[in-house]
Amino acid sequence: MVDKMLMMILIPLITAFLTTIILKQHKVVWTLFLAVSGYLSYTLFTMYGAWDLTWSIELGYKIFDSNLVLSLANNPLGWFFAFFASVTTMLIAMFSIAFNDDKHDSKTAPIWLILIFANIGIFFAQDWLMFFGMWEMMSMSSYFMIAHGKEIPAKAAKFYLSLSLVGTSTLLLGIISVARLSQTFDINASIDSLINLFATDYNKAILYIGLFAVTFFIKSAVFPFYMWPSKAYAESPDDFTPFLSTVMSKYGIYGIVLFILPILQNADIPALGQINEPAYILAVLGAITSVLGTILAIFETDMKKLFAYSSVANIGYIVMGLSTLSIIGIQGALFHSINHMVIKSAIFLSLAAVIYRTGEREMHKLGGLAYRMPLTFMVYLLGIISAAGIPPLNGFASKWLIIQALMSQNMLFVVIAMIFASTGAFMYLFRVLASVFLGQLPDKYKHIKEAPLLMAIPMTIIMLLMLAIGVLPGIIMKPVNAVLIGMGYDVQEASWTTVHSAFSNSDLNVTNIFYIFMAGAAIALVFYLFSAKSVKVTQDDNYTAGELPSDWGTTPERFNFSYGFYQPFKEMFNPMMDLISFDRWMAAFGKIVERISNGLSVLYTKSEGAILMLYIGVAILIIGGWII
Amino acid sequence: MNSSLFLIIIPLMGAFIALFAKKANRLMAIVITLFMEIFSIIIYLSGKLPVSVEIGGWQPPYGINFVLTPLSVGFIILINLAAIISLFIIRGEKSYQFYSTYLVLLAASNGIVLTGDIFNFYIFSELTAFGITALIAYPKDRKSTGAAIKYLILASTAAAFLLIGIGIVYKTLGTLNIADIASKISLLDPLTLELIIILMLTGIFVELELFPFNMWVPKAYLGGTASVNVMLHGMLGTAGAYTITRILLTMFTVDGSGLLVNVNIANSVIVIALLTILVSEIAAFNEKKIKKVLAFSSMGQMGLIIFGFMIGNEQAIVGAFYLVVANFVAKTILFVLTGEFIAMSGSGNWEDMKGIGRKHPVAGLAFVIGSLSLMGVPFFAGFWGKLGLIQGAINGSAFMVVGIVIVLITAIIEGIYFLKIAHTLFLEKDSDREYLSKARVHSIVIAAILALAIIAIGVKPGLIESNINSATDEILNSTSNYIDIVFPRR
């Protein structure tokens, strides 16, 4: 039998080369892409439970007097992320076939396939070398993916690339430092040796963990690296944005769960409250991330940027959940990771469908599309209901778990941040609904059609998934608990319907909630059927909320209240945002480097100083060699 | 093994014959270089290495000898490979001066690597300097003439330093043989030794492109044609890297252990190497002319290689050798392709090279692979060098760790500008620009083959591991591997 593990990384790679050759046949290319992601999903599905599956190769390069080995191994945690990532990818791939037509073809399938190859490698890597290699592959290929051969996206991607490179550099330093401790690149061994280091040299251990954490934070856009998604997501190909948001933002989370969490859990670190200091830092960073992400999302007028910040906020929730170091918190975080995958793919795919039809990203230029694209509207609507964490859909249970876990660890300020962010989410979620799908339909979009069938199918599947996970959380919770058992936690097998919580009597049967909700809907239906007939109101009946359209220099027919929607809110928070803009610091730093660069270039162009410089060099040698 | 003399004699004779060969001179140059490459590979595989060849039967230290070790012959193979490639990418050059000078350069750079005599080394390095000056100046325009003069002035100054250094060695030790000097180095009093080292280092640092000795570099690359760039980088640069291993790591070491006798000077060299890395990468960051970018990057890689060699433990030296190979291959790809791209777009600015990658995907891909290898991305050859370097440095002193942090920071800058350029190749072409010519197929084929080599080494570093290990072993135990070969009776 051919090695499953090897095939899983080889097939995307081979297909990548194949698709490069036939890049012009976009239909074939994207169908191949779908086939590969389907194959991966199927293989991963069959691999559940086969935790002894491994693959390794000797490199013939010696470090620490032993031959380096690259190895992949099936494990619950990696499987968990890889499987759901590849299912999401499959759905996006189906969408991509329709999206990449003659006009929209981004010609990025080969790079995306390399990204999927790296994806599998990251999640199943058994040693740091493999992990790092795949991590770099992922960073580099995603740069090309985001830039996708266009000028403006290339600028956005440059920002992403510089952060990525900072990340890979620190990761490499961290890996080598830790590997030097454990004398091997094996991930589990490195966790053990770092736990031991905590007992002897606390500061050094924190430094090493910090090196890893910076990388993971950058990739998942945790504060202070929360700026890049708004640029990168907005400019990347529209069908790739869901992948960025759903799959790629989880790499950092995966890294934290894989490496940092077991150390914080098991190492001998002085307690702070009910957790410990590093975990508290993690919690605070998560809280800041979610609050900032929410506020910035509220400000945005570009819908892809808006949801980029929304993704940032969601990563904040997940990090907060992980920081509790409790079973419920980690369950909630892992559950929310998958929910975020589903929800964000629903939202970004529906937005991609809108952009596919209209070519417009600025929300205030759109409107009223609910009439023209009802299915897309439905998907988006369910997506935001779920994202807001309203019961019958999937977003609720995971947020519930995270808040419970935070409360049970007495992390009150963090809970406040979480609730602030959750509530703030309503503001921006609704905003897109109001500006894009409701309101006035501009004339030029009068003849917009519903998204094509191949886009509709994955969107419908995702819609059903949201409902299914919402009603039967066991779909996700069973693998989550398998992961926790694999990590050495003492948990029961999860039930299909009930979510166990941190406090006594707080177990929640989500299926019952669904029944209650259905009953409510039935009652509403009764009212709808037997009460008075609905009346169609005119636009300025209630829509303008007391403002006269003439005040805004427009007519009642054309009046659209979606630009500067949250102006007062923005004025309230803007000064703070300006202060902590990481973006601006980086730009300033880039400018300085550019100036020095120009100066040095001039130095090399001028002829006069050449010999003088040579003597300066001699002086360095003399001073260094003789005098010091 | 007396036939190893052919490696120098044949190109020298060729240089003379080229004057009369009329139109056949390019063919002749190719045939000679191919012969040299095959011949050196045969020597490498013959199993008779290491061996010392006494020229004219005069025994060292009185006569001149050639030392053929796995290390030196390995470098000869690389140098001749670069020579072949540079010949293949010449554009319509027919004049005898060019080929004649080229053959002298080839003989001289082989001589630098083969010789076991320090004065002989001086002569050969002077010869390469004059050869490359003529080649840089060859386009006969203002830019290249200026660059050539600048190089000539610096190289001559450096040569003066080198000569004084050699003079003092001869005065104090009474010998010019490298192995002899290496075995007698402990007899010198420290101050004289330091003076000698400083003088000789100044002499070789100019050709090693180290800051602040390297004011000639960007202009020389900019002034020369693509094939001269490959010569500069592949022949001179590689010979330069060999020079470090011989002079720094064999001649002036503690009991032939690969550690420089004087720690202070070793640290100063590391400072200079780090300065070079820092300055070159930052200078390249905002540079618009692609050749200058590559020139700066060459400097940076050289700094990195020297940093690796100076760390001095086995891991770092292995890493440095991987870097030599990776840098050689990757930079050759980039120079070959850059020559094509400049001819195509008619401009030296990388911003004008939009769309070339779309038109020639293989070339574009090879460019990306070369850049990734230089950046040290895993699964590309350069990574194993970087890994070994970091591994070695982190086992060293705190000073080395600072160095490695600098290296990693500059790797970020390097990554940004390289991928920025690589991506520009895949941008949509401006509609008002037309390509002046087509890219030549054989250049792209050369680049593609080298790119495959990068990936092969990157995925399976074991391919060249035994070669690199024997080279490393030679440096770390140079007493038994070098001195005893030259003087077997001692």
Using an 8 Å Cβ cutoff, are A322 and A217 in contact? no
Rg of chain A, C-alpha, whole Å: 26
Q: Assign A558 a pLDDT band (cuts: 50, 70, 90).
A: low
Measured between CA atoms, the residue of chain B closest to residue A169 is: B408
Residue B430: closest CA among chain A residues belongs to which residue? Answer: A151
Q: What is the pLDDT along chain B (490 residues), one digit of tens a residue?
A: 677 888 888 888 888 888 887 778 888 888 889 998 999 899 888 877 788 888 877 877 788 888 888 888 899 999 999 999 988 888 877 778 888 888 899 999 999 998 888 888 999 999 999 899 988 888 888 888 888 888 898 899 889 999 999 999 998 988 888 888 888 888 888 888 888 888 988 888 888 888 888 888 888 888 888 888 898 888 888 998 898 888 888 888 877 777 777 788 888 888 899 999 999 999 888 888 899 999 999 999 999 999 988 887 888 888 899 999 999 999 999 999 998 888 888 888 888 888 888 888 888 899 999 999 998 888 898 898 888 888 888 887 888 888 888 988 888 889 999 998 988 888 888 777 788 888 888 889 999 999 999 999 988 888 888 888 888 888 888 777 788 888 876 5
Which residues have C-beta within 8 Å of that of residue A16, sequence separation ≥ 6? A109, A110, A111, A113, A114, A117
| Same domain, yes or no: A371 and A456 | yes
Q: CB distance B271–A620 less than 8 Å?
A: yes
Interface test with B, best of A61, A150, A181, A208 (most B CBs within 10 A): A61
**Binary contact (A607, B201; C-beta < 8 A):** no
A209 inside domain: no
Q: Please indicate if any CB of chain B lies within 8 Å of the CB of A596.
A: yes
B389 in A contact zone (CB under 8 Å): no
| Residue A323 placed within a domain | yes
The rounded distance, in Å, linking the Cα atoms of A580 and B270 is: 38
Q: How far, in Å, CA of B418 to CA of B281, rounded? A: 10
Would you say residue A576 lies in a domain?
Answer: no
User: Which chain B residue is nearest to residue A176, measuring alpha carbons?
Assistant: B391
Instruction: Please answer yes or no on whether A154 and B210 come within 8 Å at the CB atom.
Output: no
Distance from CA of B36 to the nearest CA of A (A): 30
The overall average pLDDT reported for chain A is 85
For residues A483 and A597, state if they share a domain.
no
Task: Give me the amino acid identity at B172.
Answer: T
- Residue ending a domain, among A487, A509, A531, is A509
Within A359-373, residue ranges assigned H as helices are 369-372
A149: nearest CA partner in chain B: B427
**Which whole number is the average pLDDT over A363-371?**
82
Window A:49-68, CB contacts with B under 8 Å: 58-63
Decide: residue B2, CB within 10 A, 0-12 exposed, 13-18 middle, 19+ buried.
exposed
Residue A518 lies in a domain: no
Task: Examine the pLDDT at A337 and tell me if it is beyond 80.
Answer: yes
What three-state secondary structure class fits B177? strand
**Cβ of A625 under 8 Å from any chain B Cβ?**
yes
Split into its structural domains, chain A has a count of: 2
How confident is the model at residue A552, as a pLDDT? 63
Amino acid at A335: F
> Token pair of A510, please?
């989500």
Report pLDDT digits (tens) over A163-206: 899 999 999 989 988 888 888 888 888 898 988 888 888 888 89
Strand extents, DSSP E, B276-428: none
Backbone angles phi, psi at B289, to 5 degrees: -80, 125
Overall average pLDDT of the A290-318 stretch = 89
Nearest to A609 among B161, B215, B268 (CB): B215
Residue B347: closest CA among B437, B255, B472: B437
Both A477 and A621 in one domain: the answer is no
Question: A210 vs A603, B403, B404, CA distance in Å?
Answer: 38, 20, 17
For testing the chain A interface, which of B157, B268, B421, B425 should be mutated: the one with the most A CBs within 10 Å?
B268
Alpha carbons A274 and A407: distance in angstroms, whole number: 11
Confidence tier at A561 by pLDDT (50, 70, 90): low
The range of the structural domain enclosing residue A349 comes to: 273-509
Asked whether residue A484 falls in the same domain as residue A600, the answer is no
ω into A556 cis (within 30 of 0): no
A524-554: pLDDT as tens digits: 999 888 887 777 766 555 555 566 666 666 6
Yes or no: say if B333 and B366 are a contact pair by the CB < 8 Å rule. yes
Q: What pLDDT shows up at residue A81? A: 92
Looking at residue A338, what is its pLDDT? 92
Q: Are residues A585 and A504 in the same domain?
A: no
Residues 6+ apart with CB under 8 A from A620: B212, B268, B271, B272
Among residues A466, A489, A509, the one where a domain terminates is: A509
Other Cβ atoms less than 10 A from the Cβ of A143: the count is 25
Chain B residues touching A617 at Cβ < 8 A: 202, 205, 210-213, 272
Euclidean distance between CA atoms A274 and B206, whole angstroms: 62
B161 → chain A, closest CA residue: A618
Residue in chain A lying closest to B282 (CA): A597
Dist. CA A191–CA A186, nearest whole Å: 9
In a domain, residue A352? The reply is yes
Distance from CA of A494 to the nearest CA of B (A): 40
Lowest mean pLDDT among A55-59, A289-293, A368-372, A606-610: A606-610
Q: Which pLDDT belongs to residue B428?
A: 82
Q: How many CB atoms lie within 10 A of CB A566?
A: 16
Nearest to B377 among A136, A173, A614 (CB): A136
Taking only residues 397 to 426 of chain B, the set having a beta carbon closer than 8 angstroms to any beta carbon of chain A reads 404-405, 408-409, 411-413, 415-416, 419-420, 423-424, 426
pLDDT digits (tens, 9 = 90+) for A480-512: 888 888 888 888 777 777 777 767 677 778 888
Peptide bond into A473 cis (omega under 30): no
Q: In this predicted model, what pLDDT tens digit does every residue of A218-260 receive, in sequence order?
A: 998 888 888 888 888 888 888 889 998 999 999 999 999 999 9
The C-alpha of B461 sits at a distance from chain A's nearest C-alpha, in angstroms, of 6
In degrees, rounded to 5, the angle at the alpha carbon of residue B269 between the alpha carbons of residues B121 and B200 is: 25
Q: What is the DSSP letter of A225?
A: S
Smallest Cβ distance to A161: which of B219, B408, B415?
B415
The dihedral through the CA atoms of B53, B57, B59, B63 has a sign that is negative
A339 and A458 co-located in one domain: yes
Find tokens 């999903």 and name the residue.
A41
- Listing DSSP states for B33-45 in one string gives HHHHHHHHHHHHH
A414 and A322 assigned to the same domain: yes
Q: DSSP alpha helices (H): ranges in A148-276?
A: 151-182, 187-200, 202-220, 228-235, 241-243, 250-255, 261-266
Beta bridge mates, B54: B65
| Residue A148 to residues A33, A154, B417, Cα–Cα distance (Å) | 17, 7, 17
Q: How far is CA A399 from the centre of its chain?
A: 16
Residues of B in contact with A59 (CB under 8 A): 460-462
> d(Cα B94, Cα B92) in Å, to the nearest integer?
6
Residues of A whose CB is below 8 A from B416: 158, 161-162, 165
Structure tokens at A329: 């918190």
Contacts with B159 from chain A: Cβ below 8 Å: none
* Per-residue confidence (pLDDT) for residue A544, from 0 to 100: 57
With a CB cutoff of 8 Å and minimum separation 6, the contacts of A474 are A494, A495, A496, A497
pLDDT of B62 reads 82
- Which one of B154, B202, B415 has the shortest CB-CB distance to A621? B202
Instruction: State whether A452 and A591 are in the same domain.
Output: no
Contact residues, A window 86-105, toward B, CB-based 8 Å cutoff: none
Confirm if B104 and B131 have CB atoms less than 8 A apart: yes
| Residue A403 forms part of a structural domain | yes
Chain-chain contact of A610 with B150 (C-beta, under 8 angstroms):
yes
Task: Give me the mean pLDDT over the A5-27 stretch.
Answer: 87
Q: Kindly indicate the confidence band of residue A335, based on its pLDDT and cuts at 50, 70 and 90.
A: very high
Q: What is the DSSP letter of B235?
A: I
CB interface of B with A, residues 3-32, below 8 Å: none
Question: What pLDDT is recorded for position A621?
Answer: 85
Q: Report chain B's C-alpha Rg in angstroms.
A: 21
Same domain, A453 and A600: no
| Strands (DSSP E) found in A33-126 | 54-63, 66-73
Put simply, the chain A residues between 547 and 586 with a CB less than 8 A from any chain B CB are none
Using an 8 Å Cβ cutoff, are B287 and B338 in contact? no
* Percentage of chain A exceeding pLDDT 90: 22
- B282: chain A residues, CB-CB within 8 Å: 593, 596-597, 600
Q: Does position A560 have pLDDT exceeding 70, yes or no? A: no
**Which of B156, B213, B262, B354 to mutate: most A Cβ within 10 Å?**
B213
- Long-range pairs for B393-402: beta carbons < 8 A, 24 or more residues apart: B393/B307, B393/B311, B393/B316, B394/A176, B394/A177, B394/A180, B395/A180, B395/B313, B395/B315, B396/B311, B396/B312, B396/B313, B396/B316, B399/B267, B399/B270, B400/B270, B400/B311
Distance from CA of B255 to the nearest CA of A (A): 20
Count of residues making up chain A: 628
| B289 secondary structure, DSSP code | B
- Claim to verify: residue A277 and residue A398 sit in the same structural domain: yes
Q: Is residue A18 part of a domain?
A: no
Token couple for B246: 């011989």
Number of A to B CB contacts under 8 A, please give it. 182
In a domain, A286, yes or no: yes
Q: Are A409 and A285 found together in one domain?
A: yes
Tokens of A562: 């979606």
Tokens 């805004």 map to which residue? Answer: A552
pTM of the predicted structure, to 2 decimals? 0.91
**DSSP state, residue A619:** H
Token readout for B368 is: 């990306």
C-alpha span between B289 and B295 (Å, rounded): 10
What pLDDT shows up at residue B481? 77
Chain A from 158 to 217: CB within 8 A of any B CB = 158, 161-162, 165-166, 169-170, 172-173, 176-177, 180
Question: Is residue A499 located within the same domain as residue A410?
Answer: yes
Residue A319 pLDDT > 70? yes
- Among chain A residues, the shortest Cα distance to B280 is held by A600
pLDDT score of A58 = 81
